[in-house]
Amino acid sequence: DGGITQSPKYLFRKEGQNVTLSCEQNLNHDAMYWYRQDPGQGLRLIYYSQIVNDFQKGDIAEGYSVSREKKESFPLTVTSAQKNPTAFYLCATAAVVNSPLHFGNGTRLTVT
């Protein structure tokens, strides 16, 4: 079954700790994206990668980091520098430039 797996579904962390969110895909898509969703604000792009070993900052990259060592994987690290990390995080992929996105089911991160 082809798809995008985000794990875990719910994640809890103490303030000041880094945390890594997993995103794995078996769709053989080149492009991968991380979005953050907050109530009333829609989706905002954090980072994206169009090819292995390359990635670009999105609109709200501060306090986040990513890596793209394999085509299948695009983990997102939420660092202690992110001032307001509690949110719903969505990973997405696309086959080629400008093709529709496929989304995972998201990870809800709560930092207290």
Partner 1 sequence: GDSVTQMEGPVTLSEEAFLTINCTYTATGYPSLFWYVQYPGEGLQLLLKATKADDKGSNKGFEATYRKETTSFHLEKGSVQVSDSAVYFCALSAGPGANSKLTFGKGITLSVRP
Distance CA 15, CA 84 (A): 10
Q: Which is nearer to partner 1, 36 or 85 (CB)?
A: 36
> CA nearest 82: which of 22, 36, 49?
36
Q: Could you say which DSSP state residue 6 is in? A: E
- CB count within 10 Å of CB 11 equals 17
CB of 47 closer than 8 Å to CB of 54:
no
Stretch that binds partner 1, among 14-22, 27-35, 61-69, 76-84 (CB under 8 A): 27-35
Q: Which is nearer to partner 1, 16 or 100 (CB)?
A: 100
Distance CA 65, CA 105 (A): 21
Kindly state whether residue 56 participates in binding partner 1, applying the rule CB under 8 A. Answer: yes
Min separation Cβ 17 and partner 1, Å: 25
Kindly state whether residue 2 participates in binding partner 1, applying the rule CB under 8 A. Answer: no
Kindly state whether residue 105 participates in binding partner 1, applying the rule CB under 8 A. Answer: yes
Min separation Cβ 111 and partner 1, Å: 20
Kindly state whether residue 40 participates in binding partner 1, applying the rule CB under 8 A. Answer: yes
Distance CA 44, CA 41 (A): 8
Residues contributing to the site for partner 1 (CB under 8 A): 4, 6, 31, 33, 35, 40-45, 48, 50, 56, 58, 90, 92, 94, 96-106
